[in-house]
Structure 1
Amino acid sequence: MSDSKSKRLRDPVHGLIVFAETEPLDLLAWELIDTPEFQRLRRIRQLGVSKFTFPGATHTRFAHSVGVFDNARTLTKVISREMKRNEQIFDAPRSEVAIIAALLHDLGHGPFSHTFEGVQESRGVKKRHETWTADIIRNPNGSIRGLLERYRVGFCEEVAKLLEAEDPQDIYHAVVSSSFDADRLDYLRRDKLMTGTGAGAIDFDWLIDNVRVAEIDIGAPEDDEPVNKVSTFCLASKALPAAEQFLLARYTLHQQVYFHKATRCAEHMIGKLLRSISTVANNGKNVEKMTGLRKEHPLIRFFGKNGECVENYLALDDTVIMGSLNALTAASDKTISEVADRLCNRRLYKTLDVADVGHDDGKKRQRQRTITRDFEAEIKAGSVMIDEKASISIYSEIGGDDDRTHKKLHILDGGKPVEISRLSDIIKALEKKEQFTRFYFEKEEDREKAQRKKGQNHD
């Protein structure tokens, strides 16, 4: 770098984040932040369309990723402390891989993140953002790979592999994927702050002070094979009350923010819009007239035949889509023009939650069957959308697997790691998944018709 002085960023969650001129890894991180691939994250909101519901939720994956980097540095210091305490050797090069992987972990998010992944999956493309992230890091024509290789030969592949790994590997992997990883330690505090959600508390300093490293069992033994063990983050027993509050804060955010009915509705509408655009773009006929977008538009390029490459993916972000809404309202395709106009003016579909019959699971299932039967044609045509993929438990995770052992919080009890629900009645009570099933109606009269049948359900 031409200017090797320390760099600083002010952050509402972490305060002053310093990139020290005496630390080569910090200087590498600053160079990575300055790449086009990382700067793109300024144009992707952390909470997608939650701003429709929570006006303050305009923070970006750029700010989040820098916060995750700062958390990762803190967690690797914890690892170093615990290694000394346990008379083990701290692996400094591996810790550097974890810190940079934490910084770059969100590079592969598409516009509106998990909503975009859902659109891709409906098109038969099951490529998660973690895979896109690895592709972007490895891209020989990009800015990331060269910086990583200049720092250390083979560093690029080490970082990419750590981010791709689905199964827990070691304590350094726990920095980016565990019950107490750098990612959730940032987004929970940041989302809570920016949405104004008051319930739940996160005593970060106390939790960090009580983080320990211990081995947990993962997976079930096969025949005579021993149970697999992996080192991960656990908490000392005196941090149990703070751990309960940490999980309750996460639960509350899912309940009140991530699964808010208006947010979920807007996500489904954006999904409907993008699927319609992708159908027209892939067909390749009358694209400009039917979508209102020029053929060179990033959405048309990406959704067109053989368009799903890294370069086209990186051209997509939230601002590209939101900035295209006015043009999309002129589309000859009625679905595209109508949904775009609604999103422009926040005229969301009307929501009906099957839980309006009460908490009885049998009644809710009956209500869902009745509405599905009565509006079968509308559901098929897309004027009524059903949302039955949202469920919440104490371990809920956005777009992830919340049932894996290494993603569950463990407390040291008598020196041995114990999953927290075995020690806390509060957490145990919230282990059972609660299903959210909602219908979104394009026509208000259809919603009113379905609502009038409440209490008259029968099979």
Structure 2
Amino acid sequence: MEIRDPIHGSIYYAEPEVAILDTAEYQRLRAIKQLGFSEMSFPGATHNRYLHSVGVAHMVGRVFDSIFRIYPFSKPSVKTRLRQTVRLAALLHDVGHGPLSHTTETVMPQLSELKIKVYDEEQKWGDAAHTVMYKNRRANHEDYTIKYVTDSKISETIEKNFSDIAPIYIACLIDKALHCPDDFFVDNGVDFRPILSQLVSSEIDADRMDYLERDSYFCGTNYGKIDSHWLIQNMTFHRVEDKLYLALNRRALYSFDDFLISRHHMHLMVYGHHKSIIYEEMLNRYLTSPDCTFQLPGNIDEYTLYNDYRLHEHLRSADNPWAQRIAQRRPFKVLLEQHNTTESDRPEMVKKALEKEGLEVIWASSHARLSKYHTASPEERASTIFVVDQLDPWSHPTPINQSTEIFRRYEGTRIIDRIYVAPEEFERADKILRNLKI
């Protein structure tokens, strides 16, 4: 099947993959916007997670073909199988997202309600930390993704159409912490799981390559434009003992720097836009209010019926004032905005001063970092990306965070503090703010 994509042009899917795309569980992604409330500030940003996900699978195939174009696999069938597995992982990496994405994770059930069988199996292999990871907490969209991949109509479709790829292997590329039951990813004594996982999720993965250009295109901005062709051409591998890791040729290091900065600027200027933030804050206030009746189910078949439209319909019918503000497009308005690299006491002081005068105030603090490397999980830190120099036989591969100054220069967190008030109270709040001696 051919899909006409505004970013990548014509992209193709084989019939077994189309069988997954055609499931109701996957089609649900058409009704979940990629950028949630961003369309309130960027009207073109109405693209959905379905379009993004088919783009990511296309990109990961391109990256795989570039990296392994001359790699000596034991058999052509091994290369085909691994390529197909990572394409499926990329295709399904976002399938568990809830309505309006991350904000609704507040009303997801306890993890135990999802009855994820592979998590129960994980207890046989995991340590105490893994036991905490998979139990006694609220579910998130990654958990729903693993449920869809391993125990749903999607997993049945995988088993029916891909006789040599079990759902658990796809899940192992999406969740680096999962235990792989056998040597599925091993060929000639080399474990390909680390590098394939990195193609799905890392500092320079197919997911980011797609969403940066896609979000930039639909938002009408220049921040997310990257040189993906040069990056892909220079992506390679590096072997450490019996494991294969993602690597980048040194000549493309400046493009990588630009890639990271582009993503950072998209977070600051697009994903953290003041209108998106206030709608998310108002939704969070409704979802955490005592009279909220919107809850996401643990049953995966019921969860499939929940999308952006269902949430918006619910908000229109709810009596809660926060729900009505969202439904009627009457958001709070920015009164004060501060950009800092360290925490500031001023926003809290302003908030208290305004509340003392009887005003209802929302203080939103957005934190953006160039990279998640500094706060990465142990699994993420173990999956190092290396920089190699194929034109210098005396050079040694080095971890990418030690090969460029970009991590050090942008190590700090960029903090945007905003004080919002109701638009009908804005003039009064503005007068109070101007008279404050803070």
Do the structures match in fold with TM over 0.5? yes
The TM tier, using the shorter chain, reads: 0.7 to 0.9
Q: 1:179 aligns with which of 172, 196, 203?
A: 203
Alignment CA distance shift 1:98-1:85 (3 Å)? closer
Q: 1:212 aligns with which of 228, 236, 245?
A: 236
After superposition, the C-alpha distances for 1:14-43 in whole angstroms (9 at most, x for unaligned) are: 100012xxxxxx221111001101100000
Q: Secondary structure at the match of 1:171?
A: helix
After superposition, the C-alpha distances for 1:86-133 in whole angstroms (9 at most, x for unaligned) are: 999965433322211111111100011111124549999521211101
Matches of 1:402 and 1:250, distance apart in 2? 23
Q: Which amino acid aligns with 2:215?
A: D
Q: Which residue of 1 aligns with 2:300?
A: 310
Cα distance, 1:444 vs. partner? Answer: 2.7
Q: Map residues 116-127 of structure 1 onto 2, 5 A cutoff.
A: 116-120=104-108, 126-127=138-139
Q: Which residue of 2 aligns with 1:36?
A: 24
> How many residues end up aligned between the 2 structures?
393
Q: Which residue of 2 aligns with 1:156?
A: 167
Q: Which residue of 2 aligns with 1:201?
A: 225
Q: Which residue of 2 aligns with 1:387?
A: 364
Matches of 2:145 and 2:193, distance apart in 1? 19
Alpha-carbon contact 2:85-2:165 (below 8 Å) kept = no
Q: Secondary structure at the match of 1:365?
A: coil
Q: Which amino acid aligns with 2:173?
A: L
After superposition, the C-alpha distances for 1:381-416 in whole angstroms (9 at most, x for unaligned) are: 9x433323x32222159x986994367764325543
Q: Map residues 284-299 of structure 1 onto 2, 5 A cutoff.
A: 299=294
The answer to whether residue 345 in structure 2 is matched with residue 366 in structure 1 is yes
Q: 2:261 aligns with which of 248, 262, 281?
A: 248
Cα distance, 1:316 vs. partner? Answer: 1.1
Q: Normalising by structure 2, what TM-score?
A: 0.78
Q: Which residue of 2 aligns with 1:132?
A: 144
Q: Normalising by structure 1, what TM-score?
A: 0.75
Matches of 1:202 and 1:274, distance apart in 2? 37
Alignment CA distance shift 1:342-1:376 (3 Å)? closer
Alignment CA distance shift 1:165-1:177 (3 Å)? same
The answer to whether residue 82 in structure 2 is matched with residue 94 in structure 1 is yes
Q: 1:342 aligns with which of 325, 349, 363?
A: 325
Identity %: 29
Q: Which amino acid aligns with 1:127?
A: A
Q: Which residue of 2 aligns with 1:223?
A: none
Alpha-carbon contact 2:212-2:225 (below 8 Å) kept = no
Q: Secondary structure at the match of 1:83?
A: coil
RMSD: 3.6
Cα distance, 1:347 vs. partner? Answer: 1.8
Q: Map residues 259-274 of structure 1 onto 2, 5 A cutoff.
A: 259-274=272-287
Q: Which amino acid aligns with 2:6?
A: P
Matches of 1:102 and 1:378, distance apart in 2? 52
Alpha-carbon contact 1:82-1:212 (below 8 Å) kept = no
The answer to whether residue 430 in structure 2 is matched with residue 448 in structure 1 is yes
Matches of 1:118 and 1:257, distance apart in 2? 23
Alignment CA distance shift 1:269-1:407 (3 Å)? farther
Matches of 2:223 and 2:418, distance apart in 1? 24
Alignment CA distance shift 1:435-1:402 (3 Å)? farther
Matches of 1:392 and 1:402, distance apart in 2? 21
Alpha-carbon contact 2:341-2:415 (below 8 Å) kept = no
